Amino acid sequence: MIIKEITKQKTYYEVRTEDGIYEIEGELLRRFHLQEGMDADEEALEEMHRKSRFRRAYRRACYLLDERDYSYSMMHQKLMRTYQDRELCSAVLRQLVQCGAIDDRRYAARLAEYLVESKRYGTYRALQEMRRKGLDKDLAQEALEPYEEAAEENIPYVLEKKYGRCLTDPNDRKTRDKVIAGMARLGYDYRSVRDAIEDYFADWEEEE
């Protein structure tokens, strides 16, 4: 087939023939001396197209991973938005998993620690956030197990830090219910929060 036009794009060259358009990196273009007007083999162009898109997608993934960690699902979605090619994105992900750049178990462990110890979420909210980032439920729950005690210990701290100003009257049921609802949104269960509020007011009355 005859190459009708070669157009420079941002990160590749667009090679047009009478039968299609191929995205080919400059290095491959130069190696095979592709020029306008030459007769090119269709299979060779298709192979160069596949290789070029894989390399671009792989470099894109590595660039994203330099900025922060990703789960398998999140990276797949990110690449799909750009390349819209499920087979290509899956191939890139397989390579990333093989070299250890993508590891959902490692990612889950780091995320669980961050959500409980830094964000101070309860385990229920932490699980929701981990699922939202594409992690398997069982894997997320397993990663959260070492932080269950830490999550419980967060409650008095979060209670005082976030709601200390409004918890001034132990008989104010309306405010207490609002606080419980707010703590529930952070992933803490009703009974634990209720007990923590009782302890909070007991300590507060002793200080008085």
* pLDDT tens digits, 56-94: 999 999 999 999 999 999 999 999 999 999 999 999 999
* Measured torsion, CA atoms of residues 197, 201, 207, 208, in degrees rounded to the nearest 10: 150
The predicted pLDDT at position 203 comes to 65
Percent of the chain beyond pLDDT 70?
97
Q: Are 122 and 188 in contact (CB under 8 A)?
A: yes
Q: Are 24 and 45 in contact (CB under 8 A)?
A: yes
Q: Look over the chain and give the mean of its residue pLDDT values, rounded to a whole number.
A: 92
Q: Phi and psi for 38 in degrees, rounded to 5?
A: -85, 160
The predicted pLDDT at position 204 comes to 57
Tell me the H-state helices in the chain.
26-31, 42-67, 72-83, 86-98, 104-113, 123-132, 137-144, 148-163, 173-185, 190-207
Percent of the chain beyond pLDDT 90?
75
Q: Sign of torsion, CA 134 131 108 111?
A: positive
CA-angle at 63, arms to 57 and 68, nearest 5°: 125
The predicted pLDDT at position 67 comes to 92
The predicted pLDDT at position 9 comes to 92
> What are 140-182's pLDDT values in tens digits?
999 999 999 999 999 999 998 888 888 888 888 888 899 999 9
> What are 109-124's pLDDT values in tens digits?
999 999 999 999 999 9
Q: What is the rounded average pLDDT of the residues 123-135?
A: 96
Is residue 208 pLDDT above 70, yes or no?
no
The predicted pLDDT at position 160 comes to 87
- Residue 91 CA to residue 94 CA, distance in Å, equals 5
